[in-house]
Structure 1
Amino acid sequence: MKPTTRLLAITVAALAASAAQAADWADTSIGYRYGTKFAEPFGSNDIKKSIVDLNHASGYTYGTNFLNVDLLLSDKTDPSSPNSGSGASEVYIVYRHTLDFGKITGSKIEFGPVRGVGLTGGFDANVKVDAGYNSRKRMLVLGPTLMMDVPGFLNVSLLLLKESNAPYNKFTSTATPRYDYKTHAMLTAAWGIPLGKLPLAFEGFANYIASKGTNEFGGPTAPEFNFDGQIMYDVGAAAGAPGKFKVGFEYQYWRNKFGNPASGPAGSGATAKTPMIRAEYHF
């Protein structure tokens, strides 16, 4: 294991171990979203997808945890195999743990618009079954986080990314050994902000990801920009059960998806402009 990877792995393991504390608060939900304008590099930008997700956020004595698991089911425009009448399927997992330095030291760290400072670590992982690339992404992340002084929350992080992939096309028996991209940075923000006194909230994330160098096939990669935001209406609030059931509208803009240059052979599928409907049940 390379030194950078070893350091990130050890740090993430320590962060995860520290999360084994009794939660002060927790929010878990099951959600569904649907859109007809999903895009995939080297493929279409008119893919229909249904996404079922399990989402968990919690806080404990020294910080917070976040876990999201997406099951993405495409229509046949993004096929599961060559000449297939069925669509691809994918599982994508994101985990983040943030240590709050103010909670650890017992002294608040506040300045200007910042109400807290922390250290975030975690990972992404996916498995996709499709007609071509069949992604097997693994990524470790680590870096500082600023917690902004806003209603709800707004966290801004500068993370170091250590990403690899080992795609395997079982239809052509073409295997690619696990390939480590260049260690690169991501500036990311995540937020959940109430909109006035209405049972509405603006939620989502935005990522700017630097180029990760040459890909596993010798081609260039490009910086990515991924914005995913939603306006959610708390239906349960009107029934005396706030926070239980939410519906809303979501929009994603993702340029140079997975680092594939939109101006290169990945074509129009390297830029996603995807409106979605969304529903969540919290328990």
Structure 2
Amino acid sequence: MHHTSLRIQGAIAAGLLVASGAAAAADWADNSIGYRYGTRFAEPYNSQDITKNIINFTHSSGYKYGTNFLNVDLLMSDNKDDNAQEAYITYRHTLDIGKIAGRDLSFGPARGVGFTLGFDWNTKNDNSYASKKRMWVVGPTLMMDVPGFLNISLLALFESNQPKGVSSRYSYDTHPMLNLAWGIPFGGSGFAFEGYLNYIASKGKNEFGGPTAPELNFDGQIMYDLGNTMGMGKNTLRLGLEYQYWRNKFGNPSNVPGSLAKTPMVRLEYHF
């Protein structure tokens, strides 16, 4: 790994430590436990539709100078994917530059300018690839002026992996990602449109010397506030439909079986 990449990753880690300490006194917080189920998941080099049960924990919070987002997915596949179990963790910390500077940085459709740091981490125990992904992310963010939120980020990705058959951790080329993340309510209807869209550039050669391709990953859900109609309180129990479209999954070119996922899901969340 290049020394420059190591210095950048060290700076990101240090920044996250400072940010997490500063965020201890949250102005608001939302935690949820969720469940997702789908029968048409795809995995590269596997031509079969895979059924997965997914349990997740999500934490969102905001404090004086920014916001935190943490999601932990525990994914359980059926026998078409070796009955594999996977853990995938995503963390993002977005600093609001205007709040730090004490200035109004809104312009046009943007209500503010931010700077995002974070990481992805996963491990999976399937019999073939057995991913052990590690990825640092850093870059600017625009917070758009919409009901709820819409953040648009341009992030640099520092990704590595050490799957089966690779003797040491392999670092891909540093590559950019355009990320949109949103949660937009439909007035007072109880419905909301939530999700993310990632466009990820090619990350150079893979750990086996083959080519990688740009990825497009859309994951959106229409959620309904079921708990409010049941007298449980607003946004306590939420039920919805989710759909994921993932082209060139994990950077695998389109000629690889299983590199295209078109996955409908049901989703249930309990917030506390």
TM-score, normalization: structure 1?
0.92
Q: Deviations over 1:120-165 (max 9, x none)?
A: 0000010000010000000000000000000000000000000000
d(CA) in 1 for partners of 2:124, 2:159: 16
d(CA) in 2 for partners of 1:198, 1:5: 48
Counterpart amino acid of 1:160?
A: A
d(CA) in 1 for partners of 2:221, 2:71: 16
- Give the equivalent residue in structure 2 for 1:9: 10
- Is the 1:12–1:142 Cα contact (8 Å) retained in structure 2? no
- Give the equivalent residue in structure 2 for 1:262: 254
d(CA) in 2 for partners of 1:16, 1:151: 31
- Give the equivalent residue in structure 2 for 1:82: none
- Is the 1:49–1:72 Cα contact (8 Å) retained in structure 2? yes
Q: Deviations over 1:238-264 (max 9, x none)?
A: 13400110000000000000000012x
Indicate yes or no: 2:118 matched with 1:129.
no
Task: Give the drift of 1:45.
Answer: 4.2
d(CA) in 2 for partners of 1:78, 1:249: 24
Task: Give the drift of 1:17.
Answer: 1.8
Q: Share of identical aligned residues, percent?
A: 63
d(CA) in 2 for partners of 1:272, 1:11: 31
> What secondary structure does 1:15 align onto?
helix
d(CA) in 2 for partners of 1:50, 1:162: 29
- Is the 1:44–1:77 Cα contact (8 Å) retained in structure 2? no
- Give the equivalent residue in structure 2 for 1:248: 240
- Is the 1:5–1:162 Cα contact (8 Å) retained in structure 2? no
- Give the equivalent residue in structure 1 for 2:263: 274
- Give the equivalent residue in structure 2 for 1:145: 141
Counterpart amino acid of 2:169?
A: R
Alignment of 1:32-181 (within 5 A): 32-79=35-82, 87-168=83-164, 174-181=165-172
Task: Give the drift of 1:8.
Answer: 2.9
d(CA) in 2 for partners of 1:70, 1:44: 23
TM-score, normalization: structure 2?
0.96
- Is the 2:78–2:84 Cα contact (8 Å) retained in structure 1? yes
Counterpart amino acid of 1:93?
A: I
> What secondary structure does 2:195 align onto?
strand
**How many residue pairs align between the two structures?**
268
Indicate yes or no: 2:176 matched with 1:194.
no
d(CA) in 2 for partners of 1:207, 1:166: 23
- Is the 2:12–2:118 Cα contact (8 Å) retained in structure 1? no
d(CA) in 1 for partners of 2:157, 2:6: 10
Larger displacement relative to structure 2 (202-211 or 192-201): 192-201
- Give the equivalent residue in structure 1 for 2:215: 224
- Is the 1:161–1:185 Cα contact (8 Å) retained in structure 2? yes
Structure 1 gap segments, 5+ residues each: 80-86, 169-173
d(CA) in 2 for partners of 1:11, 1:39: 32
d(CA) in 2 for partners of 1:177, 1:260: 21
d(CA) in 2 for partners of 1:12, 1:65: 15
> What secondary structure does 2:106 align onto?
coil
- Is the 2:35–2:56 Cα contact (8 Å) retained in structure 1? yes
Q: Deviations over 1:211-260 (max 9, x none)?
A: 00000100000000000000000011213400110000000000000000
Counterpart amino acid of 1:276?
A: M
Regions of 4+ moved over 6 Å: none
- Is the 1:45–1:272 Cα contact (8 Å) retained in structure 2? no
> What secondary structure does 1:77 align onto?
helix
Q: Tell me the C-alpha RMSD between the 2 structures.
A: 1.1
